[in-house]
Amino acid sequence: MQIRFLGHACFELSDGSDTVLIDPFLSGNPKAAIAADDAAATTILLTHGHGDHFGDTVSIAKRTGAPVVAIVEIADELEQEGVQVHDPNLGGTVRFDWGSVKLVPAWHTSTTPKGTVNTPAGLVVNFHDTIVYHLGDTCLFSDLQLVGKRAPIDIALMCIGGHYTMDSTDAVEAAQLVGASTVIPCHYNTFPAIEADAAAFKSDVESATRSNVVVLEPGETHST
Ligand code: NI
Ligand code: MN
């Protein structure tokens, strides 16, 4: 499996035939690795409705025909746009030929694109038996440890930028709670408010945990 970091909180999981695209904020993203028109997707997954995650969801879904998995209030609005959706709520799992995605809690805020206040999520993705946990825009909270107890996490995608999410110090504790084999930091250095030192985060996590930290520049790929 290949996981490509496309900038901010956007990742692409692929195996050569299936392509799962998470939080496709590309247009207007100063760190976007590709243009929205060049994004591939067989399925699109959303953590929540903020613009730096929802991004180009509608245009990519319409161009590719990929269904979108999003929490029910966001899915309802996407369906009105003519996009094919799956509409779980927290705790729900949606299954595909390539695996599954489960929505888990994330402590943050969210609004739908039309402005309805709703609940954000983290995503536990089983992609051909590799478990990838995108924590979403969460702060640190102790129930993060429950996710890894239910399914051992191979790769955790974790915000470290602070201000809108947990910072790189709290994320070290989150890495301990999640217990993933590999941690990939995200949601930092996109804007001045979320500057973070990923090299220091890597060193701190690798001192405190058994996790390996892989720092990806936008456009770089990690292969499992
Ligand atoms: Ni957010
Ligand atoms: Mn965000």
- Residue tagged 């250095």 (tokens): 189
Residue 64 C-alpha to ligand 2 middle, in angstroms? 24
Residue 119 C-alpha to ligand 1 middle, in angstroms? 10
What pLDDT was estimated at residue 51? Answer: 97
Distances in Å between the Cα of 223 and the Cα atoms of 106, 117, 155, 178 are 27, 37, 11, 21
Residue 50 C-alpha to ligand 2 middle, in angstroms? 6
Residue 17 C-alpha to ligand 1 middle, in angstroms? 30
Domain map of the chain by residue range?
2-215
Q: How far apart are CA 54 and CA 36, in angstroms?
A: 12
> Closest-lying ligand to the alpha carbon of 106?
1
Distances in Å between the Cα of 190 and the Cα atoms of 1, 57, 107, 160 are 26, 19, 21, 11
| 162-211 pLDDT, tens digit each | 999 999 999 999 999 999 999 999 999 999 999 999 999 999 999 999 99
- Please state whether the predicted TM-score (pTM) of the whole model is above 0.85: yes
Residue 164 C-alpha to ligand 2 middle, in angstroms? 7
SS (H, E, C) the chain: CEEEEEECCEEEEECCCCEEEECCCCCCCCCCCCCHHHCCCCEEECCCCCHHHHCCHHHHHHHHCCCEECCHHHHHHHHHCCCCEECCCCCCEEEECCEEEEEEECCCCEECCCCCEECCEEEEEEECCEEEEECCCCCCCCCHHHHHHHCCCCEEEEECECCCCCEHHHHHHHHHHHCCCEEEEECCCCCHHHCCCHHHHHHHHHHHCCCEECCCCCCCEEEC
What pLDDT was estimated at residue 84? Answer: 98
> Closest-lying ligand to the alpha carbon of 190?
2
- Residue 6 pLDDT grade (very low, low, confident, very high; cuts 50, 70, 90): very high
| 123-157 pLDDT, tens digit each | 999 999 999 999 999 999 999 999 999 999 999 99
The answer regarding whether domain 2-215 maps to CATH 3.30.1540.10 reads no
